[in-house]
Structure 1
């Protein structure tokens, strides 16, 4: 159907302390029939590049479902999910926020995530527990750098069921064709267009007025040129689905007529292949003007799976623990036809803690996703990741900064536990009474390595204890932060400062503000530093045999180990080098005569490696990028060879082996994507190569709307429908005689990228933008090493 643009609400700015967007009570959702029905539950996230329109879309979804009486506005600081003062002041999302919605007798757990790369951990831990998501594109920009970043995060956790929403189609410069082409080029080879934009003067005309659905009946007054494009898009949709779905192919071959293939068969084929990620449904519209909002909600219900429809969760060892509720609907990869595999799961509680937040009044709030059983309040859980018991005092369901207390969380649901004292992000929680799940741990959450550091100093001696405690609490809430305490720095030959390391300059600025405002401590922040690491030189190799024998509490303890250390690049194949280029973690390989090592001893080895690589021998930086092989473990019995003795032996062996091989200092190498006008590119490249020691990898014109063939609406390599170009889409990035917009990609050491934003503004007259992410690690130059 055709959706017309609505009237934009005029909202007055209000104080942060007041409720600027009146809400209906969400407690009615908790008592609905869908609350405990796993099959009618959808867990989704909204992800995009910064300023893609995620929060505005969230507001529109909240309004459409009746959760809000009036929508908030990002510019006015009145949105529901951006409730932190820093978020409203800066107009960006800093932390993810969850809201339960009700739509057509289904419960939707919606998580709005940040788009800034500095807060990638918020996306990382949200994606880990979701069953589907909506990737939002800016209709003017298409696929941007962080869009590909969140896409990679989804792929890391096999989050295949996704929808694509091309937002801001009402902006000057919006081009649907460019968005689809950039999606094919950078993210997914089969984006399937389910909606077409309508302009005031026909296809590719002047003002954007609404959308028309490719499936279903077209309204009587639909213009003929729109009907022609709609028919072409429907035929391409069927043809593309037939490439990956044998059932729909059989249906088409039986009639050999696109018009005789029913919409019901197309919807079924779409759902089957969305579950496996073979296709990517595409919707378009404007979140600001409420265009396509109902279609997005309907698509979530139709195409995004329930927790029963996704593969059963797997443990860290890669073993499936069964499906939730006893059955699991899957899609056979061979013929893409719906099959059902039935496996049994213990009725005991199984959940993952994916986020921990500190509240000044309530204490620690632990966000969990329940995978099995029923999580009840006043129960006792076993943290299998840390080997401790946790008591559930209360259970909450959060709606941004609002809350409602409940008695239980059912399979597939997301909620908050009050009472956990030791649980951290990524921990697995099981029923304490079920010993069969005692050692079960779910796949953990990958923590991005920190790249920037700042010194945190208390303003006075009396503030020191409070600052230390606040830093520990801050790191517990945000695991992408790392604290190097003053005592550790002195022991490593450093300057005795307490360092806080994070993912970027903005990340550390926000963290410092939280220390002062949220935790109420008095401290100062030093200048920004780069987080260096140490590693072995290429082709370096050292083997160390270590025996640990000590008397502890009048008991003789003994353990021995042989450790071999190399640099990862010397061991891994070329494909693995490319895959792990951004990852500087250490790899531990067990190659011992013992056929199977007891779990406590395996953890002891890992703890010993962590302790042995905490400080390098050269300058005290953490030692990373090692391939550590444990070739022999010598144990007597549990009394004479406790796990602590093995930890000490491994730690000493690693320290001595690394010291024998010597180390070099490495720094993060950043992939920098810069967008600037053609007239400014020369100065930008000169600055990168001559002053910042960077290497230009590629340079190309952003093909947004340029050189498009107005008559070629399908790609010659695939049957995917490509919309016609938007004729009146004036490229907003062109300015005077500066020429077209160019995309420059370069690899630059992070040391040389500090405060680059102000330099780029000067080089481009304020029109240039950039984004960067870690793409590898490189040995520091002699000049940089001399200053460390």
Structure 2
């Protein structure tokens, strides 16, 4: 790699995440990075329960990542702030919150399985946040591993331009190194199971040398393919490519850096993290191609509109106007809290500092809680271990102690320069269980434990069922809720009873109503209330009723627009009507489920010179939409998931029959590495207990993954 040491301190920082499908090896990649950089002196193993980042007892027991863990290490004069994210779909909210604060990412793929369902999901999430990525094809030492096949799956399913910069030396169990196609040099590792004395090249760990003669022709061919692919995408590289016999290593590396940061291409590397092969070139690529905090656009936010000295709106009228904060240590302080963790030693709030500097003892303004907090301590995080520091500057990812009210998504800023940053969107729960303490004396402790859970994980929701009085815990899947309940049992020593899982249904409009008039009049002495609205309600998108009376689509969401002319309803009252309609969406007429998939149009209205107000129109909007929904043809929606089942060929018949019995619709079937891979869309309610059933039908050899794909019509109940 070329010398990429920056002149400014921010340029020496990389904030990146490790993203992948479950079991692709991202935690092992993280552990090897920590070992190779000298941060740890013994490689942690997932199967032994000795990993640094999977430190929670449940993570070690289950062998999967459940909670995003932050670590820091140094490589080639750069500091890498690294977040190891979960791969299971039930914990995708942790991934989203992490992506919101990262500048780059390494996407890890299995060289045998290629792009898997959750790989695709986290890739799309990274697209939404504009996070530049490089790809690492892992497990090249496995039987059936094929770099070219894995790259083809990246191209077909993720649709980037994959730019392969390495050629494997050896295959499957004989994989021993890679050829760097940028510099045309070879990296060869000794037995990666012990990696030499320190795994970093001394005493036979890794050797760099000339390309093996047997691979020279193939390496030159692949280098030419790489140059052509880069020249097609990069104008500067195209100019040099056409002018001479090819691209220099310097030009090629610069073009790869530009294409990575714009998202027009993705650099692909390969290796075997378990055998400690390919990690050093991966670290070089992180430094060379992924952006630093000073390379990404300035963060944007809006003032929170509060003058702390007067308790009123800002006098400069800047409310709602977007502002930028550059990644400058001397700028006003602004940071986003992306994770909260209650530990035995205190409440940790994880921050990404976007601008300014924060020091121990500083006062910060929490725009969510609208209160001033004081920073007790600032910690550099190493998973479950921490090192205290005196300050954190723009570009840092740290944890702070002393913030009592900050939540994930809260903006913390300088009290005299307020700014509200856009928080990550929290996923909507789809599965619920009733929970209760086994003894009445533990009820209060359970309530406190649930409140702490929700504080740490915003994707969990706790409510009380109005009909039964039960406490209901809702989350993103069976495993999500199982982990949450087990955490209460272990951390609090509570004996908790859990009911059967239930899915979160929705209601939608199949056929709406037009011209529904509602007049809200209330007179009880003094100023009265008057508001009149006329609403049209119709299905949103493709939701419609076909000739057989079945729902033909499952569009979700809510749209509101005004078609009022002549100023018959002032704009501030229009906004109040919309707020009232949103209030009415919480409870539908079929079974009290939330309503989605509809469009409301305010057609007309009337006001009273004295008695009309925003409150009156909000009430009118709420009551009018409830009346309209009762008059509409409604349908029930249920959450559906895409299931990918991998099973032996001789068990496919049983798998297909079981999916059909669960109201599944098979959408694809392929053969991969000697096993059948079946993809189907299945109602979430039918998947409870499926893992046990699949194991029994396949003699323990079948596995499945699932990811949410939306809502579909539910059968009549």
| C-alpha separation in 2, matches of 1:387 and 1:423 | 10
The Cα shift of 1:73 comes to 1.1
Give the secondary structure class of the aligned counterpart of 2:83.
strand
Q: Which residue of 260, 263, 268 maps to 2:249?
A: 263
- CA contact under 8 A between 1:546 and 1:650: conserved in structure 2? no
The Cα shift of 1:443 comes to 2.9
Q: Which residue of 257, 266, 270 maps to 1:280?
A: 266
Partner of 2:474: 501
Partner of 2:284: 298
Q: How many residues matched?
A: 665
Do structure 1's residue 780 and structure 2's residue 678 form an aligned pair? no
| C-alpha separation in 2, matches of 1:313 and 1:45 | 19
Partner of 1:683: 654
Q: Which residue of 221, 238, 251 maps to 2:227?
A: 238
Do structure 1's residue 357 and structure 2's residue 341 form an aligned pair? yes
Q: Which residue of 342, 346, 350 maps to 1:367?
A: 350
Do structure 1's residue 457 and structure 2's residue 415 form an aligned pair? no
Do structure 1's residue 699 and structure 2's residue 672 form an aligned pair? no
The Cα shift of 1:560 comes to 4.5
Alpha-carbon distance change, 131 to 424 in structure 1, aligned in 2, over 3 angstroms? same
Q: Deviations over 1:522-561 (max 9, x none)?
A: 421111222222222244567464647688xx98585757
Give the secondary structure class of the aligned counterpart of 1:422.
coil
The Cα shift of 1:430 comes to 2.9
The Cα shift of 1:680 comes to 2.3
Do structure 1's residue 394 and structure 2's residue 377 form an aligned pair? yes
Alpha-carbon distance change, 166 to 669 in structure 1, aligned in 2, over 3 angstroms? same
Partner of 2:162: 191
Give the secondary structure class of the aligned counterpart of 2:421.
coil
- CA contact under 8 A between 1:312 and 1:320: conserved in structure 2? no
Give the secondary structure class of the aligned counterpart of 2:66.
coil
Do structure 1's residue 534 and structure 2's residue 523 form an aligned pair? no
The Cα shift of 1:676 comes to 2.4
Alpha-carbon distance change, 424 to 632 in structure 1, aligned in 2, over 3 angstroms? farther
Q: Deviations over 1:104-151 (max 9, x none)?
A: 221111000011111111111101111100001112211111111111
| C-alpha separation in 2, matches of 1:594 and 1:430 | 42
**Going by fraction, where is strand more abundant, 1 or 2?**
2
| C-alpha separation in 2, matches of 1:591 and 1:761 | 57
- CA contact under 8 A between 2:585 and 2:596: conserved in structure 1? yes
Alpha-carbon distance change, 742 to 564 in structure 1, aligned in 2, over 3 angstroms? same
- CA contact under 8 A between 1:313 and 1:320: conserved in structure 2? no
Partner of 2:632: 661
Alpha-carbon distance change, 467 to 41 in structure 1, aligned in 2, over 3 angstroms? same
Q: Deviations over 1:380-434 (max 9, x none)?
A: 4334445444443433332101123333321121122333343332233332222
| C-alpha separation in 2, matches of 1:99 and 1:35 | 24
Partner of 1:524: 497
Give the secondary structure class of the aligned counterpart of 1:289.
coil
| C-alpha separation in 2, matches of 1:546 and 1:394 | 57
- CA contact under 8 A between 2:520 and 2:616: conserved in structure 1? no
Partner of 2:218: 229
Aligned ranges 1:416-565 → 2 under 5 Å: 416-434=399-417, 437=418, 440-486=419-465, 489-490=466-467, 495-539=468-512, 543=516, 545=518, 547=520, 556=527, 560=531, 562=533, 565=537
Q: Which residue of 195, 207, 210 maps to 2:174?
A: 207
Alpha-carbon distance change, 147 to 535 in structure 1, aligned in 2, over 3 angstroms? same
- CA contact under 8 A between 1:571 and 1:627: conserved in structure 2? no
For structure 2, the 5+ residue unaligned runs are 187-208, 303-318, 545-552
Do structure 1's residue 44 and structure 2's residue 46 form an aligned pair? no
Alpha-carbon distance change, 215 to 609 in structure 1, aligned in 2, over 3 angstroms? same
- CA contact under 8 A between 1:540 and 1:567: conserved in structure 2? no
| C-alpha separation in 1, matches of 2:374 and 2:517 | 44
Moved more, 167-176 or 38-47: 167-176
Moved more, 388-397 or 662-671: 388-397
Moved more, 758-767 or 386-395: 386-395
Partner of 2:195: none
Give the secondary structure class of the aligned counterpart of 1:774.
strand
Alpha-carbon distance change, 476 to 68 in structure 1, aligned in 2, over 3 angstroms? same
Task: Give the TM-score, by structure 2 length.
Answer: 0.84
- CA contact under 8 A between 2:331 and 2:355: conserved in structure 1? yes
Do structure 1's residue 60 and structure 2's residue 32 form an aligned pair? yes
- CA contact under 8 A between 2:462 and 2:473: conserved in structure 1? yes
The Cα shift of 1:177 comes to 1.8
Partner of 1:759: 693
Partner of 2:680: 746
The Cα shift of 1:594 comes to 11
Task: Give the TM-score, by structure 1 length.
Answer: 0.77
Alpha-carbon distance change, 154 to 523 in structure 1, aligned in 2, over 3 angstroms? same
| C-alpha separation in 1, matches of 2:383 and 2:586 | 38
| C-alpha separation in 2, matches of 1:684 and 1:511 | 30
The Cα shift of 1:657 comes to 3.5
| C-alpha separation in 2, matches of 1:212 and 1:478 | 43
| C-alpha separation in 1, matches of 2:407 and 2:383 | 21
Partner of 2:194: none
Partner of 1:575: none
| C-alpha separation in 2, matches of 1:43 and 1:636 | 57
Alpha-carbon distance change, 322 to 610 in structure 1, aligned in 2, over 3 angstroms? same
Higher RCO (Cα < 8 Å, 6 or more apart): 1
- CA contact under 8 A between 1:548 and 1:648: conserved in structure 2? no
Q: Deviations over 1:151-175 (max 9, x none)?
A: 111112121x111111111122211
Give the secondary structure class of the aligned counterpart of 1:170.
coil
Give the secondary structure class of the aligned counterpart of 1:115.
coil
| C-alpha separation in 2, matches of 1:616 and 1:93 | 38
Give the secondary structure class of the aligned counterpart of 1:417.
strand
- CA contact under 8 A between 2:298 and 2:327: conserved in structure 1? no
Give the secondary structure class of the aligned counterpart of 1:536.
strand
Aligned ranges 1:130-149 → 2 under 5 Å: 130-149=102-121
Alpha-carbon distance change, 509 to 370 in structure 1, aligned in 2, over 3 angstroms? same
Alpha-carbon distance change, 772 to 430 in structure 1, aligned in 2, over 3 angstroms? same
| C-alpha separation in 2, matches of 1:165 and 1:537 | 46
Alpha-carbon distance change, 457 to 320 in structure 1, aligned in 2, over 3 angstroms? same
| C-alpha separation in 1, matches of 2:163 and 2:117 | 22
Do structure 1's residue 180 and structure 2's residue 147 form an aligned pair? no
For structure 1, the 5+ residue unaligned runs are 2-32, 327-344, 573-580, 703-730, 735-740
Alpha-carbon distance change, 543 to 61 in structure 1, aligned in 2, over 3 angstroms? farther
| C-alpha separation in 2, matches of 1:184 and 1:775 | 22
Q: Deviations over 1:500-537 (max 9, x none)?
A: 11111111100111122224444211112222222222
- CA contact under 8 A between 1:59 and 1:71: conserved in structure 2? yes
| C-alpha separation in 2, matches of 1:128 and 1:694 | 34
Do structure 1's residue 167 and structure 2's residue 129 form an aligned pair? no
Partner of 2:550: none
| C-alpha separation in 2, matches of 1:655 and 1:205 | 63
